[in-house]
């Protein structure tokens, strides 16, 4: 039965047990965020309240990953209802044009440039989710985040590792250095850091809602900061921003339905991969580990090639999701795959990054939230508005500067996005809410997790624990837990392979087992987080 542990865990080996709960559950990549959301659930809040409390706190304690200077996507399914998608991705300033950046001598948008900063969409998305679907209101939701920013928080191991690894991204802006490298270096495990300016802004949002961020003193400080660096941002760009609610898109896999947000995110790429691989029997006993890795790599190349050609702000796409998921289109992509050799190398257009947080919650009433929030690269653009306490994302470097491309930068346009939440439905009802952090990897990561569960009978934690591979930037990257014999076989088929220098992604998932009346939760061992419920 899917959702229960078919393959028993060996308790002599390192690893995590799957989390099991009878009523409600939350899974995040940071222990404090999980505790914040769990406290909301226990106090009578619902899935939306808990998810927002968790992600807001992560914007404080995981500043290299996320924050109010970033963007947000969500899938929400009320108990007994159908999923809705919320696109909280920011738009380019109204004055932003390809011609302007070309006149500056740019062939692409530099990831540390002020021109990479799009209008942050997360706060408006949070406010819309809370107003439409929440139960307890922003003051209670943001309470722990405000306290952590004001009084300080303790650095956990994975946060310390990433902070030190990407500290150079904080080195070009004096205000950024002062806040995030207060002793001239990254904070170590167990050290404490605070952000009083961020606490004040969060408190204002709790009291006044979106206007406290997109208008007034906070917006003025953000605009003044960006304009001083040559940015095209204006107060009207912030005041006019609004997240967009829409219908999700989906595709079948093994009798289930994988549900994603539509573009400008890359969820459509996950659906293309799922549809391609649905035509192969990945559970076949004669299929080797190298065979499966090969198939995932080839499906990824095919899907990401379409992604880079066609995905963009939905108002500017030339082919629809229906076009790209049609039998004719998918059959043609699948027919190109050979089991005995790799297809020619592909280099994808999107910059490589790994920095996102994902939260999933299922509450006691059966409401389910799948929520992802990001500032794109580690510490985003590295640019900081000191009075507002806002570290800006750099999503604008996801734009193309190729004239005529559907994803070319333009006024008030949304760039291509990597962050994607997901759900899985069976007979129209959600059975799993999940996401896989990790930049470009996310689309493949969704299908990899789904395959581990549906093709191999693993529970959600075991599925998360499995070794990962990812074809990107001309090479097939393997986590170091892959056997060397598999590496050799992949090389024989023509793959250029590399050993990963960091873990690939990070998964959180909750499986809804209605037959037993329990929830099964996972939080990736590659992060600091935990899944907890009651």
Say whether 368 sits in a helix, a strand or coil. strand
Residue for token digits 């004001």? 150
Q: Are 83 and 259 in contact (CB under 8 A)?
A: yes
| ∠ Cα 235 241 245 (to 5°) | 175
d(CA 343, CA 439): 23
Residue for token digits 């999940």? 434
- Each as own residue / partner, the long-range contacts of residues 205-211 (CB below 8 Å, 24 or more positions apart, any chain) are 205/68, 205/123, 205/127, 205/138, 205/142, 206/138, 206/139, 206/141, 206/142, 206/143, 206/146, 207/139, 209/127, 209/138, 210/123, 210/124, 210/127
For the record, the structure tokens of 386 come out as 């000191």
Q: What are phi and psi of 61, to 5 degrees?
A: -90, -15
Give the single-character DSSP code of 439: G
d(CA 118, CA 453): 37
249-253, strands of its sheet edge to edge: 19-21, 518-523, 506-513, 429-437, 422-426, 256-260, 249-253
The residues near 381 (Cβ < 8 Å, ≥ 6 apart) are 111, 112, 113, 114, 116, 117, 375, 392, 393, 394
Q: Are 61 and 159 in contact (CB under 8 A)?
A: yes
Q: Are 418 and 398 in contact (CB under 8 A)?
A: yes
Q: Which of 28, 176, 356, 360 is catalytic?
A: 356
d(CA 194, CA 154): 9
Say whether 37 sits in a helix, a strand or coil. helix
Q: Please, is 319 exposed, middle or buried when counting C-beta atoms within 10 Å of its C-beta (0-12, 13-18, 19+)?
A: middle
The residues near 166 (Cβ < 8 Å, ≥ 6 apart) are 64, 378, 379
Confirm whether 356 is a catalytic residue.
yes
The residues that are catalytic are 356
């Amino acid at each position: 039965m899917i959702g229960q542990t078919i393959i028993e865990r060996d308790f002599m080996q390192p690893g995590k047990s799957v989390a099991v709960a009878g009523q409600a559950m939350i899974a995040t990549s940071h222990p404090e965020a999980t505790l914040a959301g769990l406290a909301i659930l226990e106090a009578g809040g619902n899935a939306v309240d808990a998810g927002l409390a968790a992600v807001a706190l992560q914007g404080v304690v995981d500043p290299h990953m996320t924050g109010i200077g970033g963007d947000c996507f969500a899938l929400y399914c009320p108990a007994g209802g159908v999923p809705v998608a919320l696109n909280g991705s920011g738009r380019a300033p109204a004055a932003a044009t390809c011609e302007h950046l070309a006149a500056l001598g740019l062939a692409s948008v530099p990831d540390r440039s002020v021109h990479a900063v799009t209008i942050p969409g997360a706060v408006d998305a949070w406010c819309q989710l809370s107003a439409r679907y929440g139960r307890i209101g922003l003051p209670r939701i943001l309470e722990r985040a405000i306290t952590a920013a004001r009084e300080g928080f303790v650095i956990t191991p994975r946060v310390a590792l990433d902070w030190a690894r990407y500290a150079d991204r904080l080195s070009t802006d004096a205000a950024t250095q002062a806040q995030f490298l207060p002793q001239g270096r990254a904070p170590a495990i167990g050290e404490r850091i605070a952000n009083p300016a961020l606490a004040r802004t969060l408190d204002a949002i709790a009291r006044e809602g979106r206007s406290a961020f997109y208008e007034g003193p906070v917006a003025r400080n953000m605009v003044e900061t960006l304009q001083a660096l040559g940015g095209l941002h204006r107060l009207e760009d912030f005041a006019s921003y609004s997240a967009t609610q829409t219908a999700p898109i989906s595709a079948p896999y093994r009798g289930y339905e994988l549900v994603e947000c539509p573009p400008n995110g890359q969820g459509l790429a996950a659906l293309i991969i799922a549809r391609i691989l649905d035509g192969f029997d990945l559970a076949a006993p004669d299929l080797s580990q190298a065979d499966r890795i090969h198939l995932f790599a080839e499906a990824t190349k095919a899907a990401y090639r379409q992604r880079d050609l066609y995905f963009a702000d939905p108002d500017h796409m030339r082919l629809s999701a229906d076009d790209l998921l049609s039998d004719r289109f998918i059959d043609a992509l699948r027919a190109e795959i050979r089991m005995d050799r790799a297809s020619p190398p592909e280099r994808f257009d999107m910059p490589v990054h790994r920095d996102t947080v994902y939260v999933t919650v299922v509450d006691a009433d059966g409401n389910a939230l799948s929520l992802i929030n990001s500032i794109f690269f580690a510490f985003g653009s590295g640019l900081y508005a000191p009075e507002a306490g806002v570290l800006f994302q750099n999503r604008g470097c996801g734009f193309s500067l190729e004239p005529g491309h559907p994803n070319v930068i333009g006024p008030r346009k949304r760039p291509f996005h990597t962050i994607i939440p997901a759900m899985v439905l069976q007979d129209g009802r959600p059975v799993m809410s999940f996401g896989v952090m990790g930049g470009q990897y996310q689309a493949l990561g969704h299908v990899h997790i789904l395959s581990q569960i549906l093709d191999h009978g693993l529970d959600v934690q075991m599925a998360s624990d499995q070794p990962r591979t990812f074809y990107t930037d001309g090479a097939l990257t393997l986590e170091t837990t892959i056997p060397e014999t598999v590496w050799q076989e992949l090389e024989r088929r023509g793959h250029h392979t590399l050993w990963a220098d960091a873990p690939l992604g990070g998964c959180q998932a909750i499986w809804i087992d209605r037959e037993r009346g329990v929830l099964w939760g996972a939080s990736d061992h590659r992060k600091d987080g935990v899944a907890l419920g009651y």
